[in-house]
Amino acid sequence: MTYTDQTKPDFTFIHMADTHLGLNWPAIGRYEKIQIPVYGKAFGAIVDAAIEKQVDFVIHAGDLVNRPRPPTAAWNRILQELPRLRKAGIPFVVTVGSHDKPESYFDRAGGDVLQLLDSRLDLAKRVDTDQNPFVNLRTRGGKKVAIYGLGDHGREQEESLQQLTKHMTQESDFSILVMHGSVSTISPLIGPTIKTEKISELLSKRYVDYVALGHNHKRWEHKDLHIYNPGSPEFTSFADAPTLDYVMEGSTLKEETRKVAEHGYYFVEVRGEILNAQYHHMLTRDVKNVQIRFNNATPSQVVEGTKQAIIKNASSSSIVRPLLKGTLHPSTSRSELDIREILSLRERMLFLEYPMVDLGGSQVEIESVQGSDFRQLINQYFKSRLGKPAEEITEITVKLVQLYSQKSKTTDQEALSLIDGWNTND
């Protein structure tokens, strides 16, 4: 990168989030297909960029690790990458994400990973309202930058921001609010949320010049205000992935829409009053949802259409989730669907998720008959016993209940392959 005197920024930085080091998704069930390294590689690639561009600092908006007790592979990666930044003289400032936070009493007693990185290893500056709410940095060109941290505080998010604003001054040349959570205009809205007006006020009063979000895994930015969310550098679930939308008309498959999902980081240049946030896309794995809508289709048409749509989109490195929507022909039933036939495509790709079937209501029925959302109940119970892994266990339990509520000759087989697809998640 070459700048002229007119374009040379006062300083630059990188904003990333949601690296989820240590995650193994999807759990493929064969040990040589473990997915942990892709998250480490994505993190390493951003560190490479930071060093190559000689940015003044790097900010991470939370969820550095996937679990508060990360596996050794994640530690290995952290202790490989962060010293490279330190050696290059690039401070790494991070706030506390929902996944970095210890949940149990025993974990809390030892502090969190980010605390170890900060006070024990001097590899990061941890900013959050609970300890060090902000850090002041000096850029190479002598500019004074303040970075305020607001981790994940759940329902107390607004209150915590209120606390944080007490520390804010207009004395720095540039100020950043790094926050793990959403603002009210983000889409889709997830997790702890601050009203956009509150942020807008901080921006207009120049208490803050750049708002660095994390938590939502898809890229998003405010159209007028300097509020940016880079998304996760790699896919962490099918919810982060693009969706290809097909409709089956008779025996013809028609593509309707493509919903993209961007993944990467921001490279930000600041020069005087001018802020230029450039989005850099990452090379990710090939992950997608393939959604097919059927109208009064027979079970064999559904299987055929689904297979066609999957084959169109899958190579040996693809990770695919089929979503089957619409209605079955009234004289047929969900139990006649030969899901195994769809799953036989598994060999052709890296991972084929067990299809989500929403064809004329089996899933809806069971929930309304119970009179309550059984997913919620199961999740609550598992959470109280297990913490974070509860979500995955809930998912598989709900799928099994749904599967057995429509028992057929092939149900046991289907259940086995469903379990098989999940069985190596730690």
Which residues sit at the interface with Mn ion, rule CB under 5 A?
18, 63
What's the distance, Cα to Cα, between the start and end of the chain in Å? 42
Report how far residue 374's alpha carbon sits from residue 401's, in angstroms, rounded to the nearest whole number.
Answer: 10
Q: Which residue type does 7 have?
A: T
Report how far residue 317's alpha carbon sits from residue 314's, in angstroms, rounded to the nearest whole number.
Answer: 8
Q: Closest separation between CB of residue 100 and Mn ion, Å?
A: 9
Tokens of 420: 């098989």
Q: Closest separation between CB of residue 34 and Mn ion, Å?
A: 20
Of the pair 18, 209, the CB lying nearest Mn ion is at 18
Which single residue brings its beta carbon nearest to Mn ion? 63
Helix axes 411-420, 390-404, angle to 10 degrees: 170
DSSP 386: H
Contact 323, 292 (CB under 8 A): yes
DSSP 90: -
Q: Closest separation between CB of residue 18 and Mn ion, Å?
A: 4
Q: Closest separation between CB of residue 289 and Mn ion, Å?
A: 19
Contact 403, 411 (CB under 8 A): yes
The sign of the dihedral angle between the CA atoms of 265, 150, 157, 39 is positive
Of the pair 17, 309, the CB lying nearest Mn ion is at 17
Q: Closest separation between CB of residue 20 and Mn ion, Å?
A: 6
Q: Closest separation between CB of residue 145 and Mn ion, Å?
A: 25
Report how far residue 308's alpha carbon sits from residue 324's, in angstroms, rounded to the nearest whole number.
Answer: 13
Q: Closest separation between CB of residue 217 and Mn ion, Å?
A: 6
Of the pair 163, 237, the CB lying nearest Mn ion is at 237
Of the pair 98, 306, the CB lying nearest Mn ion is at 98
Q: Closest separation between CB of residue 232 and Mn ion, Å?
A: 6
Q: Which of 152, 204, 206, 217 is nearest to 178 (CA)?
A: 152
Rg of the Cα trace of the chain?
Answer: 24
Q: Which of 14, 37, 29, 82 is nearest to 234 (CA)?
A: 37
Q: Closest separation between CB of residue 187 and Mn ion, Å?
A: 17
Tokens of 316: 């040996």
Contact 178, 49 (CB under 8 A): no
Report how far residue 265's alpha carbon sits from residue 243's, in angstroms, rounded to the nearest whole number.
Answer: 21
Report how far residue 351's alpha carbon sits from residue 344's, in angstroms, rounded to the nearest whole number.
Answer: 11
Of the pair 301, 379, the CB lying nearest Mn ion is at 379
Q: Closest separation between CB of residue 102 and Mn ion, Å?
A: 16
Whether residue 389 has a cis bond before it, omega within 30° of 0: no
Q: What is the dihedral of CA 279, 282, 286, 290, to 10 degrees?
A: -20
Q: Which of 394, 355, 396, 401 is nearest to 375 (CA)?
A: 394
Q: Closest separation between CB of residue 384 and Mn ion, Å?
A: 22
Of the pair 15, 293, the CB lying nearest Mn ion is at 15
Of the pair 64, 314, the CB lying nearest Mn ion is at 64
**CB proximity list for 362: less than 8 A, separation 6 or greater:** 334, 402, 405, 406
Of the pair 65, 303, the CB lying nearest Mn ion is at 65
Report how far residue 414's alpha carbon sits from residue 42's, in angstroms, rounded to the nearest whole number.
Answer: 34
